[in-house]
Structure 1
Amino acid sequence: MSNPLKVAVLGCGSVGSQVVRLLRAQADDLAARIGAPVELAGVAVRRLDAPREVDVPAELLTTDAMGLVCRGDIDVVVEVIGGIEPARSLILAALENGASVVTANKALLAEDGPTLYEAADKAGRDLYYEAAVAGAIPILRPLRESLAGDKVTRVLGIVNGTTNFILDRMDTAGSGFDEALEEAQALGYAEADPTADVEGFDAAAKAAILASLAFHSRVTAADVHREGISEVTAGDARSARDMGSVIKLLAIAELRTTEGEGGHRDEAVCVRVHPAMIPRSHPLASVREAYNAVFVESEAAGQLMFYGPGAGGAPTASAVLGDLVTVARNHRQGTRGVGESAYADRTVVPMGEARTRYHVAIDVDDRAGVLAAVATAFAGHGVSIQTVRQEGRDDDAQLVVVSHEATDAQLAATVEELRGMDIVRDVTSVMRVEGTEE
């Protein structure tokens, strides 16, 4: 076989330790698949004496991550430390020193992916990141390679296991948000500080990456409309069940046709992350507990769904090793894989132009004429009502309205008017509804 392929791993936490374990446990198979043995050349860690899930020979451990990536004899750097810095500086240094990079860093890719791509192009090296979105699920490679001859029109996904577990418990066990979050933390599905997950930051970064690949345009996390699940109530979950639906935190990226100058029609991108009700007949409705799934719609292939464990050390390490094999093969053959594809350069439209249906719960006075007044408010902003029902009587009276498709701006204006009406005590819930109208 050829000379060994030297690999440096940055980070030895839950994912990094599993990468190290698989590199050693599957060494013979990896060598056969690549055509050269893989040599673990070093593992950069924050503390040498920290407890680890796997035993790493002391001579491989170092706290000098920059020194490791700048050695000059490293062929591939695997970055699994996360965050923006020092990860960005380490990846750029690795590329400048002749190493290809495999990363799982969704936050960095969503914030500054173009800088990394440009550095990889300048160095003539690979940048692969399948593990950055949905753990072990192969979704990025299909978008940028398998579907390269097709036109993707929509990507709809559950890409955060923590929030899916919480919402699943609220649906199946009737738990409140706080109770479900505590259970997720006890089981290790949620961090002690769950903000990145429950407020949608994690899913927004992944949505930006998915949209960039699907629509051949640069999309950053700042372009993504983001709402979390902390305001979802047990009452919302009950209302969804009454509609034959379930609430999921969805990452949605879709092409929209916009009217340009002189009647010219342009395509733009809309990217959003928010909780939504979906019919139980939709494939994503059956995604339970901490699993992830991504639903892709394209003109020729139609509808495709990718499902599996979206997080965890071993599943994520599986995606890292898959990229490592590809990068190693390219290295041996003196070739490169697919780089950035941003030729379409589509505009990202604001959330106000996004179109969907809505579920609105309104506490109202229980007297004649209320329904007509509420319906008039909806009609005045161009929002057509699909269904309406009253729950409770007297002081507990509530109207539950489900609209036909409208823009987010139209719905926001409707809710603002409703809250100013004398007959409305409160608008207690506004939830988007995705899926085919029944």
Structure 2
Amino acid sequence: MMRTRPLKVALLGCGVVGSEVARIMTTHADDLAARIGAPVELAGVAVRRPDKVRGGIDPSLITTDATALVKRGDIDVVVEVIGGIEPARTLITTAFEHGASVVSANKALLAQDGATLYASAQQHGQDLYYEAAVAGAIPLIRPLRESLAGDKINRVMGIVNGTTNFILDKMDSTGAGYQEALDEATALGYAEADPTADVEGFDAAAKAAILAGIAFHTRVRLDDVYREGMTEVTAADFASAKQMGCTIKLLAICERAADGGSVTARVHPAMIPLSHPLASVREAYNAVFVEAEAAGRLMFYGPGAGGSPTASAVLGDVVAVCRNRLNEATGPGESAYTQLPVSSMGEVVTRYHISLDVADKPGVLAQVATVFAEHGVSIDTVRQQGKDGEASLVVVTHRAPDAALSGTVEALRKLDTVRGVASIMRVEGE
């Protein structure tokens, strides 16, 4: 039997994602009601610019007073898609205090202060769902915190930003430089006018913090995530990668230490073999590779951004939260029982691809090899080309602590025979 009193939803934000949430709620109202067991009603929409025309939304629902909307007391679910830290944090906790559960797409807030939101939700007996915060339409959060709850996850590695993947894919497939590829991404609407959050890795770092926290049942904040952007990646780096049978991706990597005593989370460009499933992820698509003890290797793939894909994830959470309310239950809350420390980047064991400009004369290779040996870093391969007194030396290392590899590079810079370090790239996925 379907309950006749509708569940009421308040929408905070009506931009690209919010307007699509409202549209789907309206056009698919009968289907949503059948799946939930009760009608769902859009009860209010908080916006900053009330005069903007919003097709398909009853103008009487529009308000600029978001606080009053979440305080109404008759709201069952608040959907927050305004982003940023404040006023989003206050609005979400206020919603909990007044008896509403929350569905959010706010990766920045969850990465910075998710513990506060979880605590408030638990205190007031409400749900906090956020599938849309990490990878758009890709079902990822729910599988990690529900489907794999009985397993031990050791590693999560993925492409979680469509803008950067589009840029790197164009550089790889066309030979374009970074700026040229960025200009194309901007023209097609994949990149914002200010792409800093994407290309400098801030967006991916927030998502890495969320993924690490769920995967390893410990609190990982944005400040715990090591971050490097991709603005220094060049066409020459792609040429070197191709010689190794690799491509370059901006990766979010979350790992549990081999002894299980700590975790790491990092975002940086890396070379990965063409044989790795992530290497074939093209255009603005996202993909996340999960390695679990019992389930083995799993990959989640699909569109990671955009109005419709993100709205799909939001509404999936709305359905789940509404079902919980009908059953007078709540879904999973924060799981941070392990309280594992987050190790520094220097403790991460990885590999380096280092390109050096060196003098083309006898003994250079021996000097370079000595520096690696002094820092306890083993060399895997060396490739050297020379002409007219100048030479390039490409060294790929075996796995070593990142601090040792970084120290090696700094020592190489001080050699008289090294004219410059042309590029440094980590190698992953092997």
> Shorter-normalised TM-score: what interval?
over 0.9
The 5 A counterparts of 1:22-33 are: 22-33=24-35
Q: Which residue is equivalent to 1:77? A: 78
Asked if 1:427 corresponds to 2:417, the answer is: no
Q: Which residue of 2 aligns with 1:324?
A: 318
Partner of 1:40: 42
Task: Identify the residue that residue 140 of structure 1 maps to in structure 2.
Answer: 141
State the match for 1:112 in structure 2: 113
- Give the C-alpha shift of residue 51 in structure 1: 4.3
SS of 1:219's partner is coil
Q: 2:23 aligns with which of 21, 41, 66?
A: 21
The match for 2:253 is 252
Q: Where in structure 1 are there 5+ consecutive unaligned residues?
A: 259-265
Q: Is the 8 A contact 1:284 1:295 kept in 2?
A: yes
**What is the CA distance between 1:396 and its match in structure 2?**
3.8
| 5+ long unaligned stretches in structure 2 | none
The two structures have a TM-score, normalised by structure 2, of: 0.98
8 A contact 2:132–2:314 mirrored in 1: yes
Residue 377, structure 1, aligned to residue 371, structure 2: yes
1:342 aligns with 2:336: yes
For residues 20-419 of structure 1, what are the structure 2 equivalents within 5 Å?
Answer: 20-52=22-54, 54-257=55-258, 267-419=261-413
In the superposition, the TM-score normalised over structure 1's length comes to 0.97
8 Å Cα contact 2:361/2:389 also seen in 1: no
Counterpart contact for 1:365–1:394, Cα < 8 Å: no
Q: Which amino acid aligns with 1:63?
A: T
1:321 alignment partner, SS class? helix
The one-letter code sitting in structure 1 at the alignment partner of 2:316 is: G
Q: Superposition RMSD on alpha carbons, in Å?
A: 0.8
Query: How far did residue 238 of structure 1 move?
Result: 1.1
Mapped partners of 1:208, 1:73: distance in 2: 34
SS at match of 1:175: coil
Partner SS state of residue 135, structure 2: coil
Please give the secondary structure, in 2, of the residue aligned with 1:133. helix
Task: Tell me how many residue pairs correspond in the alignment.
Answer: 428
How far does residue 55 in structure 1 lie from its aligned partner after superposition?
Answer: 2.8
Which whole-Å CA distance do the structure 2 matches of 1:196 and 1:392 have between them? 39
Question: Does residue 1:6 correspond to 2:8, yes or no?
Answer: yes
Corresponding letter in the other structure for 2:151: D
CA contact (8 A) 1:168 1:289 kept: yes
SS of equivalent residue, structure 2 residue 257: strand
The one-letter code sitting in structure 1 at the alignment partner of 2:24 is L
Structure-1 separation of matches of 2:33 and 2:334: 28
Query: For the residues of structure 1 that align with 2:159 and 2:387, how far apart are their CA atoms?
Result: 37
Tell me the alpha carbon deviations over residues 180-235 of structure 1, each in whole angstroms, 9 at most, x when there is no partner: 10100000000000000000000000000000000000000100000000111111
SS at match of 1:88: helix
Mapped to 2, the partners of 1:142 and 1:344 lie a distance apart of 19
SS at match of 1:56: coil
Separation in 1 of the partners of 2:180 and 2:305? 22
| Secondary structure in structure 2 of the residue aligned to 1:397 | strand
Q: CA deviation at 1:283?
A: 0.1
Structure 2 residue identity aligned to 1:367: K
Quick one: which amino acid aligns to residue 16 of structure 1? G
In structure 1, distance between residues paired with 2:119 and 2:274: 43
Matches of 1:357 and 1:80, distance apart in 2: 39
Identity rate of aligned residues, in percent?
Answer: 70
Quote the Cα distance in structure 2 between the aligned partners of 1:24 and 1:392.
Answer: 67
| Preserved contact between residue 360 and residue 431 of structure 1 (Cα < 8 Å) | yes
C-alpha displacement at 1:159, in angstroms?
Answer: 0.1
Query: Displacement, 1:395?
Result: 4.2
Q: Do 1:217 and 1:344's aligned partners in 2 also have CA atoms closer than 8 Å?
A: yes
Q: State whether residues 126 and 337 of structure 1, in contact with CA within 8 Å, keep that contact through their aligned partners in structure 2.
A: yes
Superimposed CA distance per residue, residues 49-97 of structure 1 (whole angstroms, 9 cap, x where no aligned partner): 1244x43111010011111000010000000000001100100110100
- C-alpha separation between the residues in 1 aligned to 2:218 and 2:261? 11
2-structure distance, mates of 1:391, 1:288: 32
Shift of 1:257: 3.8
Q: Runs of 4+ in structure 1 displaced over 6 angstroms?
A: none
Letter in 2 for 1:20: A
